[in-house]
């Protein structure tokens, strides 16, 4: 058994003991996607990068992608788009001005992208424009009040890039500047309403620890996550999964 495997085995044993029921937020997000994607849906994945789901969920990613009538991947990063392993219809552009006609899609998804939006109010209006009445937008993003975001703001980007590689195996080119301008429940609800959306579902969820590769510290992280799983500490959970709907007949986006 290698060192990495040994660390994961230690983590799994501690997780069962300290925080039973803890679920990786990507798993929760995948379940939400599965509920919303159907054969009659034209789907855009915003900020698609080079995959829809984590690396080890490739078979499930292909099955999920195959359920939609059409699937378009959209991203500003051309290199990431070129490497996408599942989506064949890929478009490069800026979410502030999407190169699609109004009401082009029935479903839009976005996985760990909203934290990078510079002008989320403008960009939510644009997403509303290309979504059909009755359509849905689902996104998964960090909570700005989660401990990972709060601690990360104390360090420069070069430190965060090295930490992402050491702790998560993420290469530097996969670490982008984050602004966290629509990353709290209050901000999401306010901006969504102004953009003409209705909040159908908003979950504040916990995710797995970041310090699995540092076994002594992961114990304390699991203890904190166990507290976050209680209702009292809900607002400080690590991640948000939100489903917005564009009403079939309802208020138009605000221009304010």
- The pLDDT of residue 153: 82
- The pLDDT of residue 228: 98
Q: Lowest-pLDDT range, 60-74, 86-100, 149-163, 239-253?
A: 149-163
Classify residue 184 as left (phi > 0), alpha (psi -120 to 50) or beta: beta
Give the pLDDT band of residue 164 (cuts 50, 70, 90). Answer: low
Give per-residue pLDDT as tens, 124-144.
999 999 999 999 999 999 999
- The pLDDT of residue 176: 72
- The pLDDT of residue 175: 67
State both tokens at 33: 């996607």
Residue 191 clears pLDDT 90, i.e. is over it: yes
Residue 81 clears pLDDT 70, i.e. is over it: yes
Q: Lowest-pLDDT range, 63-77, 80-94, 166-180, 240-254?
A: 166-180
Give per-residue pLDDT as tens, 28-55.
999 999 999 987 789 999 999 999 999 8
Average pLDDT, the chain: 91
Average pLDDT score over residue span 79-88? 92
Burial 164-190 (b: 16+ CB within 10 A, else e): beeeeeeeeeebeebebbbbbbeebee
Q: Which of 20, 30, 24 is nearest to 51 (CA)?
A: 30
Higher pLDDT pick, 18 / 254:
18
Give the pLDDT band of residue 161 (cuts 50, 70, 90). Answer: low
- The pLDDT of residue 218: 96
To the nearest 10 degrees (0 to 180), the angle between helices 215-228 and 3-18 is 30
CB 147 within 8 A of CB 238: yes
Which residue ranges form the domains of the chain, and what is each CATH number? 3-245 (3.40.50.150)
Residue 232 clears pLDDT 70, i.e. is over it: yes
Residue 256 clears pLDDT 60, i.e. is over it: no
Q: In the beta sheet, which residues pair with residue 244?
A: 137, 199
- The pLDDT of residue 156: 75
Residue 168 clears pLDDT 90, i.e. is over it: no
């Amino acid at each position: 058994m290698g060192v990495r495997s040994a660390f994961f085995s230690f983590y799994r044993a501690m997780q069962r003991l300290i925080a039973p029921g803890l679920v990786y937020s990507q798993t929760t997000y995948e379940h939400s996607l599965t509920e919303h994607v159907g054969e009659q849906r034209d789907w855009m994945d915003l900020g698609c990068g080079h995959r829809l789901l984590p690396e080890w969920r490739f078979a499930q990613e292909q099955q999920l992608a195959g359920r939609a009538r059409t699937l378009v991947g959209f991203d500003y990063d051309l290199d990431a788009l070129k490497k996408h392993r599942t989506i064949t219809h890929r478009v490069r552009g800026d979410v502030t001005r999407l190169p699609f006609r109004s009401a082009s899609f029935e479903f839009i998804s976005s996985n760990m992208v909203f934290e990078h939006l510079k002008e989320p109010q403008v960009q939510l209006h644009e997403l509303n424009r290309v979504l059909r009445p009755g359509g849905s937008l689902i996104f998964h993003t960090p909570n700005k009040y989660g401990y990972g975001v709060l601690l990360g703001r104390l360090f420069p980007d070069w430190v965060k890039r090295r930490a992402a590689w050491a702790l998560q195996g993420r290469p530097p080119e996969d670490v982008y500047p984050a602004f966290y301008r629509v990353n709290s429940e209050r901000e999401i609800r306010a901006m969504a309403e102004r953009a003409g959306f209705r909040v159908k579902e908003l979950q504040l969820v916990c995710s797995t620890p970041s310090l699995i590769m540092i076994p002594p510290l992961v114990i304390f992280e699991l203890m904190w996550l166990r507290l976050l799983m209680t209702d009292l500490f809900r607002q400080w959970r690590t991640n948000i999964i939100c489903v917005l709907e564009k009403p079939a007949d309802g208020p138009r986006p605000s221009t304010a």
